[in-house]
Amino acid sequence: APRRPLPPGPEPKFFSGNVHQLPRSEAWKVFAKWSETFKSPIVFYRIFGRKFVVLNTFKAANDLLEARSNIYSDRPMAWMYNELVNRKMGVFFISSQHPRFKAYRRLLHAGLNPRAVGYYDEILDDERRTLLRNLKSKPDDFMAHLRRAAGGIILKVTYGWTVADKDDYLVSLMEQSFAMAVEIMTPGRRLVDVFPLLRFIPSWLPGAGFKRKAAVWREQLSEVTGKPYAWAKAQLESGNYVASFTSKHLSPEDGHTLNSEEEDIIKWCSAALYVGGADTTVSGLASFVLFMTMYPDVQRRAQAEIDEVVGKDRLPTWADEASLPYVSSVIKEVLRVAPVGRLGLYPDPMTFNPSRFLATPGQPPQQDPYKLVFGFGRRVCPGAHFAQVTLFLSIASILATFDICKAVDDQGREVDPVIEYSSGVTKSVSL
């Protein structure tokens, strides 16, 4: 059959494609412009040999990623990382056609669905109290506290590990593996990703240094996946452990002994939680703080709602969520405007206005951004509910306890925060 034409897009250069038209950061602004220029919700561009399709409307994303998720559920192939460094069994990279994919999704769902998240109540409560204490004692270091909170919650829930206040062993192990993954996968860094046949070169040949390097990374990354898992397993066996995602899966209800395949599945799923849940949560919390400094009226209205519904004698709990629609809308608005991608998809997209999610007489609420920010189809974020609970608990407790305001300089004048979102796998905000 003849090939279908590609979606429209900017004119590429013969060799480098559209590199010259893409800025290093905030590429989404350019994507939005291309959609207008080419009058198409779907646009196409190329960076050297790599082809990209941008879906610029909710409908386009939903039509392809949800309705046709049987064909659009795999991530791009990274030969160096997946094959040579042997990360292809990781939750994020495994093909949706692989038989294990379903096993992963089932396990993740079992450990993170709304009922399962209820098991972690105590951990979540402890962690937010630590966050509030840290914010109180050193408010200027709030970014470090938010990072610690996100990492602390996820490592305790995943493995039962309590994060140390400084230089935590598991946090640094995880961060090293992130850094390694970025180094290995940065587009254009690895020739073998451009010419995959190179992977068959024997390691001893001159010029095959990349294969020897791959072997080292392979070893190091396999340790990162193996160590925390082995620790959690040993704790469980010792009888002295905190019930966690890993411990629960390691002790199945029917009491059967796990085989090595089942254990491997638990190991990979546990490893995915920090990758999926740490930076995303930090990003959401940091953006929340930023927007509260910029929109004091929003902050006051959210605080008033908490005072009225919860009172001042206790901290908000997840059970209060349904009675705090404005606080919930603040969180939705943070996620709409801030992390993972700026979603300029609603009326007046650049304005931070939580009320857009509240119905008013004659005006229905705008579309719930959770349909978008957590992805689509077969790969939709398995941590979505968990993320909503942890963000709600942290944000509602911060609002209940503190006033967030701009920093002041030596002369007592307010300093406007510099807003700079970095592009990457997770959008992070530097404050």
Main-chain dihedrals φ then ψ at residue 428, nearest 5 degrees: -125, 155
Residue whose CB is less far from ligand HEM, 38 or 63: 63
The binder of ligand HEM chosen from 160, 276, 316, 369 (CB under 6 A): 276
Task: Please choose, out of 131-139, 225-233, 378-386, 398-406, the segment that lies near ligand HEM by the rule CB under 6 A.
Answer: 378-386
- Report CA-CA distances (Å) from 104 to 111, 213, 273: 11, 29, 12
Give the whole-angstrom CA distance, residue 91 versus residue 93: 6
Distance between CA atoms of residues 258 and 260, nearest Å: 7
Stretch that binds ligand HEM, among 18-26, 133-141, 193-201, 272-280 (CB under 6 A): 272-280
Choose, by CB under 6 A, the member of 56, 235, 247, 280 that binds ligand HEM: 280
Q: Are 156 and 123 in contact (CB under 8 A)?
A: yes
**Of the residues 208, 215, 380, 431, which one makes contact with ligand HEM according to CB under 6 A:** 380
**With binding defined as CB under 6 A, does residue 58 bind ligand HEM?**
no
Residue closer to ligand HEM by CB (options 112, 131) is: 112
Nearer to ligand HEM, 193 or 279 (CB): 279
**DSSP states along 228-275:** HHHHHHHHHHHT-----HHHHHHS-TT-PPP-HHHHHHHHHHHHHHHH
Cα radius of gyration (the chain)? 23
Binding positions for ligand HEM, 210-249, rule CB under 6 A: none
**Between 198 and 393, whose beta carbon lies closer to ligand HEM?**
393
Determine which residue in the list 288, 291, 352, 386 makes contact with ligand HEM, applying CB under 6 A: 386
Query: Would you call 51 helix, strand, or coil by DSSP?
Result: strand
Q: What is the DSSP track for 308-350?
A: HHT-SSS---GGGGGG-HHHHHHHHHHHHHSSSS----SSSTT
Sort 285 into a burial class: Cβ within 10 Å, 0-12 / 13-18 / 19+: buried
Partners of 408 in the beta sheet? Answer: 414
Which of 340, 389, 393, 429 contacts ligand HEM by CB under 6 A?
A: 340
By CB under 6 A, residue 339 contacts ligand HEM: yes
Q: Which is nearer to ligand HEM, 161 or 374 (CB)?
A: 374
For residues 289 to 328, the per-residue mask of contacts with ligand HEM, x marking binding by CB under 6 A and - elsewhere, is ----------------------------------------
Smallest separation (angstroms) from ligand HEM to the CB of 208: 31
Stretch that binds ligand HEM, among 115-123, 172-180, 371-379, 408-416 (CB under 6 A): 371-379
Nearer residue to ligand HEM within complex by CB, 109 or 212: 109
Binding residues for ligand HEM, rule CB under 6 A, total 25
Of 54, 211, 382, 389, the one binding ligand HEM (CB under 6 A) is 382
How do strand 414-415 and strand 421-422 relate by DSSP bridges? unpaired
Q: Which two structure tokens, joined as six digits, stand for 315?
A: 């901290």
Among 60, 290, 327, 381, binds ligand HEM (CB under 6 A): 381
> 352 with 333: CB under 8 angstroms?
yes
Using the minimum distance from each CB to ligand HEM, give the nearer residue, 318 or 376: 376
At its nearest, how many Å lie between ligand HEM and the CB of residue 47? 20
The structure tokens listed for 56 are 């610029």
| Least distance in angstroms from the C-beta of 85 to ligand HEM | 18
Task: Render 196-225 in DSSP notation, one character per residue.
Answer: GGGGGS-TTSTT-HHHHHHHHHHHHHHHHH
- Beta-bridge mates of residue 422: 428
- Footprint on residues 77-106 left by ligand HEM (CB under 6 A): 91-92
Pull the structure tokens for residue 138: 């050193």
> Do the strands 42-47 and 50-55 form a parallel or antiparallel pair, or are they unpaired?
antiparallel
The answer to whether 405 is a known ligand-binding residue is: no
Using the rule CB under 6 A, give the single segment among 1-9, 80-88, 277-285, 324-332 that binds ligand HEM: 277-285
Q: Find the residue with minimal CB distance to ligand HEM.
A: 383
Tokens for 94, please give them. 């495994």
- Whether the Cβ atoms of residue 116 and residue 124 lie closer than 8 Å to each other: no
- Count of CB atoms situated within 10 Å of the CB of 359: 11
Beta-carbon contacts of 15 under 8 Å, excluding residues fewer than 6 positions away, are 48
**Cα–Cα distance measured from residue 255 to residue 266, given in angstroms and rounded to the nearest whole number:** 16
Binding string to ligand HEM for residues 106 to 135, with x set by CB under 6 A, is what? --x---x-----------------------
Instruction: Select 171 or 340, whichever has its Cβ closest to ligand HEM.
Output: 340
Closer residue to ligand HEM (CB): 192 or 381: 381
Q: Which residues are annotated as a binding site for heme?
A: 381
Residue ranges that bind ligand HEM, judged by CB under 6 A: 91-92, 108, 112, 272-273, 276-277, 280-281, 284, 335, 339-340, 373-376, 379-383, 386-387
